[in-house]
A and B are shown apart, each in its own frame.
Chain A
Amino acid sequence: MKQTVDTRGLSCPQPVLLAMQAMRGTGSGAIEVLVDNEASRENVARAAQSQGWSVAVTEMAGGECRLDLAK
């Protein structure tokens, strides 16, 4: 089952910290990260790409985004 990391409402550095913990925990596979602001979206995407994960972003209502990380 795809792991979901919900970072909505959390401030820096928690979105990246939670996403990194999930990436390290699974090693590879697919992770879905929910963010609610542009800065978190950029930070999580940058961190995931630096760890060799691909990032696909789907915009949702209310300025929220879903980042699908895969490795």
Chain B
Amino acid sequence: MSAGVKNVFATTVGIIVVGTVIGVVAGFLQKLGNPANMAICVACFGRDIAGAIGLHRAEVVQYLRPEIIGFVLGSFAAALIFKEFKPSGGSAPVIRFFLGMIAMIGALVFLGCPWRVILRLAGGDGNAIFGLLGLVSGVGIGTLFFKGGFSLGRSQVQSTSTGLMLPLMMLGLLALRLLFPPVPGEAQSGVLWYSIKGPGAAYAPLFISLGAGLGIGFLAQRSRFCTMGAIRDALLFRQFYLLYGFVALLVAAFATNIALGQFKPGFDGQPVAHTMWFWNFAGMLMAGLAFALAGGCPGRQLFMSGEGNSDAGVFVLGMLAGAGLAHNFGLASSPQGIGPHGMAAVIVGMAVLVFIGVTNRK
């Protein structure tokens, strides 16, 4: 027999340390070139990767973000070292694909994942208050589905190669990034697309981004850091373990922004943000519900895919597909406001989520 919790990072102090590290690293990544108030947004960076490999042609958001690669590979390394690499999957994969797509579309109506909700708040962007309210509401609706018996079913043990697919894909993307580095003033390098202007053209040096991603991936795997879970567990169980990490990220990012002169309070003219409060709320409501039904925020899905969880891997692939659709179909917002079909996307996406929630009760 052994104690219930033996992992030092899975303690209250551990999760606070991890949230703090992510917040400080985010601030410095911004200082070193990443887009303002975005820093390490999982949705935005997934969208940039979708652009880099040509799944959409929105010229200002195309860059193969090394942070995302690092998240999966860092988690993969931690899982291997601590013998937690466990290939599993088969829990309604196609539904998880659609949850990933819808989550990404909702996040791009708001313009950010839950991490960016926090980072935007920490940078002074008041519009993110509505995103946070939407996120909490969406996760809250998700907890009602869980209380009503929602389940996507059990996963099974899978082959080792199944669990290796996402880590290997990330290695492949890293190889592409090394083979085809950005060329100043060029929109293409080999098979990869690069933004010449806009947020896609704002990035920290490759090895700093990759190192930051690897470190965060490692720590997040150990601590189970999850921003959606933070809200869900507080609402569903009155358990605050993950919420400490969420708050630590907010406080650390805020303090780092103050220290680096990156805190600019207000609603208008915030970086890569729009002021349509209802759609900031509704986009994140949809994303929050999709994350809740899938059991993790986009960061957590990346970390779990590094642990060999192919259901999380399918969700990640769904997010990339969703990013492609969001820009190709005009669903994604821009600083000018929501896209031409953003409203329709939220209405249809919410209907699909309710359908999934209602029809998967056990």
- Partner-B contacts on A (CB < 8 A): 8-14, 16-17, 20, 36-39, 41-43, 45-50, 55-59, 62-63, 67
Indicate if the CB atoms of A14 and B151 lie closer than 8 Å.
yes
Indicate if the CB atoms of B4 and A42 lie closer than 8 Å.
yes
Indicate if the CB atoms of B91 and A13 lie closer than 8 Å.
no
Known interface pairs A55-B4, A63-B86, A67-B4. Does A46 touch B241 (Cβ–Cβ under 8 Å)? yes
Main secondary structure of the interface of B (DSSP, over half): loop
Check B1 for interface membership: any CB of A closer than 8 A.
yes
Cross-chain contact of A11 among B82, B152, B156, B239 (Cβ < 8 A): B152
Cross-chain contact of A42 among B10, B153, B156, B236 (Cβ < 8 A): B10
Indicate if the CB atoms of A12 and B296 lie closer than 8 Å.
yes
Indicate if the CB atoms of B7 and A42 lie closer than 8 Å.
yes
Q: How many A-B residue pairs have CB under 8 A?
A: 78
Indicate if the CB atoms of A38 and B4 lie closer than 8 Å.
no
Interface size class of B (residues with CB under 8 A): 20 to 34
13 residue pairs bridging A and B, Cβ less than 8 Å apart: A8-B154, A10-B155, A12-B229, A12-B295, A13-B232, A13-B237, A42-B5, A42-B224, A45-B5, A46-B239, A46-B241, A58-B1, A63-B86
Indicate if the CB atoms of A41 and B232 lie closer than 8 Å.
no
- Partner-A contacts on B (CB < 8 A): 1-5, 7, 10, 82-84, 86, 88, 91, 146-147, 151-157, 224, 226, 229, 232-233, 236-237, 239, 241, 295-296, 311
A37 to B157, CA, bound (A): 11
In the A-B complex, the 3 residue pairs with the smallest Cβ-Cβ separation, listed nearest first, are A45-B4, A9-B154, A11-B295
